[in-house]
Structure 1
Amino acid sequence: MKYGLMGVDFEDRVNYERLRKDRLEKARTQMIKDGLGADFDNIRYITGTTIGEWARNKMARYVILTAEGDPQLFDPATPSKRITSPWISDSVHPSVGSMRGAIPPEEGNVETVASEIKKVLEKYGAEKMPVGVDIMDVPLIRALEAENIEVVDGQQTMLDARMIKTPDEIELLKTAAAMVDATYSEIVRAIRPGMRENDLVAIANKCLYSMGSDLVECVNSVSGSRSQPHPHVFSDRMIRPGDMVYLDIMHSFNGYRTCYYRTFVCGHPTKAQEEAYNKAYQWLQASIKAVKPGATTADIAACWPTAQEIGLKDEKEAYLLQFGHGIGMSIWEKPVVSRLFMDKPFELKEGMVFALETYCPSADGKGGARIEDEVVVTKDGCEVITKFPAEELISCGLPGTKAFI
């Protein structure tokens, strides 16, 4: 994080006009390269607009991007967008779809949407080209096909367009990570006997929203016996002395995400807990050292133990434990790193941003260690942008421990 969070006149901070322009250009370039006539969704990336969590799962908002002309946004809040988003005010239209089937099919709304889409495609001469779609409900796909529109997978096009981050995107990712740094500072002070996993989730939400997060997408909070194996969800379990506690904080700042694990212990760790933590840390550091342009995802995955070494049946079971994934406007982007795909290596390039995460269960059955860092691929290596200390297992919550405050 180079400067502050706000836009100011005295420093060259994130330039949002440049950010919108660069993202649109990248999306259009990749779309033309892949031979598509239009691409749907990835709406914030293409248009620089959002409607927040209200739109989740409603499938009532979409964008049409063609080789020429401005993106055409269909949005339920059209009157507001014309005022608040002047860069797209002439290209925003009302959107009334099926609301995931809640509006009865006999109303014909889906067919109306398909007809609107076809008119836009015809306007720009793209009605006979394949239309790339990232996500869409089945009735609309069928309605488009009834209009003789060829629907193809557009996910790869947009993921490829988003894979190399611009300097503005990297700055936003660093800012999002800095907000989690601060959140962990509060969490480590809160861990103590009697605190519940969901209490830590509440603290994370309060801290992040107070700092300006636009979405706390998910907080995993896992302690004690629940950490073997990793359940990927928090509960109301009460933390007790001797418990290992790990969290994963996923939130968004101006659309840019984090995925960021840290592990702590309530009280003093056992020897087995320290050994587990040190193994997870060493595996993570080895994989970070492997990151550089020209290296591959297989080079990174080779630094991690096999599934059997951590007591699992196969690499499918270990898939989300020794793992890496691109991160940007979503938590799942290219590249993906796993021992499961070592036979299909993916080359690393400068400007990629991804998270690397490792896991090791404690041999005495008293918890597990989960650590994750986010890295930016630089011209000669990488930069770690997640800064909360991870060199050793931090003890907290009891008199005499490092974080007893």
Structure 2
Amino acid sequence: MAIRTFGTNAVDWEERVDLDRLRRERLDRLKAQLDASEFGALLTFDFANIRYLTSTHIGTWAMDKLIRFAVLPRGGEPVIWDFGSAARHHQLYNPWLDGEERARAGISTLRGAFHPDAGIAADVARKVATVLREHGVADAPIGVDLIEMPILAALQAEGLTVVDGQQVFLEARRIKTRDEISLLAQACSMVDAAYEELYEFLRPGVRENECVGLVSKVLYDLGSEYVEGVNAISGERCAPHPTCTATA
């Protein structure tokens, strides 16, 4: 196409963001990085990495709880474990997960919310080890991005060698695909719109929380799924900015 367009809606008469291509190229990049590494598989608990790998998402409310997990074995396809209802949704509606084989019910330890006697850590390790053995990579190191100590101990008890795999994920994500660049441009335009609304809203007596609320509303109205880091600092607290201070 001669001219790129960045509309927020898809249309049948113009190519904008090709989400199928986005999913495919992300997975291909990660597979290439895995093949170039010494790892037999990649195991992820980080929501951003899980989304990059499996094209699944269940909302930002659980991002800090390490609930879900997914594994990419060398030479294989990604497998994700999620809440039972979420796993069923993935099976029905995610075109990149082949039914029950690659989207399975299962959760991790929720940052220790489950007591060790519940056996959740051992269950997670058993699930992961089963997939690795099926693909013949259980004897190779497994790269992990984020992990809790009970999960680490359980994986080691299964005979797995666990090493830091975060850089493999970051290297795959470092260079953006054409569709990721389009989405970044779209996100930037949405932020520009929020600042324009904020500029017109500012007047004497406006409170910081009102500014944050306005920016958040504009971004959510435009389609944002996650708004983070809206800093509103005014008055004497601006000098110096409280998040930019340094000690001599």
Offset of 1:125 from its aligned partner?
1.0
What's the counterpart of residue 183 of structure 2?
172
Computing the radius of gyration from Cα coordinates, the structure with the larger value is 1
CA distance in 1, matches of 2:181, 2:93: 25
Q: CA deviation at 1:175?
A: 0.2
How far residue 53 of structure 1 moved from its aligned partner, in angstroms, is 1.5
Of 8, 13, 21, which residue of structure 1 is paired with 2:11? 8
Q: How does the TM-score come out when normalised to structure 1?
A: 0.56
Q: Verify: 1:185 aligned to 2:196, yes or no.
A: yes
Which one of 33, 41, 53 corresponds to residue 60 of structure 2? 53
Q: 2 CA distance for matches of 1:81 and 1:171?
A: 25
Alignment of 1:109 onto 2:112: no
**By how many angstroms is 1:313 displaced?**
5.1
The letter for the 1-side match of 2:114 is I
Match of 2:243 in 1: 232
CA contact (8 A) 1:55 1:61 kept: no
The one of 174, 178, 192 aligned to 1:163:
174
Report the AA paired with residue 70 of structure 2: V
Separation of aligned partners in 1, 2:15 and 2:95? 23
CA distance in 2, matches of 1:230, 1:40: 39
CA–CA distance in structure 2, aligned partners of residues 158 and 69 of structure 1? 17
CA distance in 1, matches of 2:191, 2:235: 23
Amino acid of the structure 2 residue aligned with 1:38: A
Q: Which has the higher helix share?
A: 2
Counterpart residue number, 1:349: none
Q: Is contact 1:28-1:66 (8 Å) kept?
A: no
Aligned partners of 2:69 and 2:108 also within 8 Å: no
CA–CA separation in structure 2 for the residues paired with 1:40 and 1:230: 39
RMSD: 1.7
The letter of the residue matching 1:220 is N
**Structure 1 runs of 4+ with >6 Å offset:** none
- Residue aligned with 1:199, SS: helix
- Aligned 8 A contact 1:75 1:93 in 2: yes
Q: Which residue of 1 aligns with 2:158?
A: 147
The residue aligned with 2:24 is 21
Match of 1:133 among 144, 151, 155: 144
What's 1:96 paired with? 107
Is 1:71 equivalent to 2:78 in the alignment? yes
- Residue in structure 2 matched with residue 216 of structure 1 by the alignment: 227
Letter in 1 for 2:21: R
| 1:32 Cα deviation from its structure 2 partner | 1.5
Once the two structures are TM-superposed, the CA of residue 228 in structure 1 deviates from its matched residue by: 2.4
- Which segment drifts farther, 5-14 or 166-175? 5-14
In the alignment, the residues of structure 2 paired with residue 230 and residue 124 of structure 1 have an alpha-carbon distance, to the nearest angstrom, of 53
Q: CA separation in 1, counterparts of 2:6 and 2:164?
A: 39
- Structure 2 distance, partners of 1:35, 1:230, is 45
* 8 Å contact kept, 2:144–2:166: yes
Task: Please list every run of 5 or more consecutive structure 1 residues that lacks an aligned counterpart in the other structure.
Answer: 234-310, 315-405
Q: Which residue of 1 aligns with 2:215?
A: 204
Is residue 119 from structure 1 mapped to residue 163 from structure 2 by the alignment? no
Match of 2:95 in 1: 86
Count of residue pairs the alignment pairs up: 237
Runs of at least 5 residues in structure 2 that lack an aligned partner in the other structure: none
Percentage of matched positions with identical amino acids: 41
Cα displacement string for residues 22-55 of structure 1 (whole angstroms, at most 9, x for unaligned residues): 0001011111212111112301111111011132
- SS of the equivalent of 2:110 reads coil
Alpha-carbon distance between aligned partners in 2 of 1:86 and 1:15, rounded to the nearest angstrom: 14
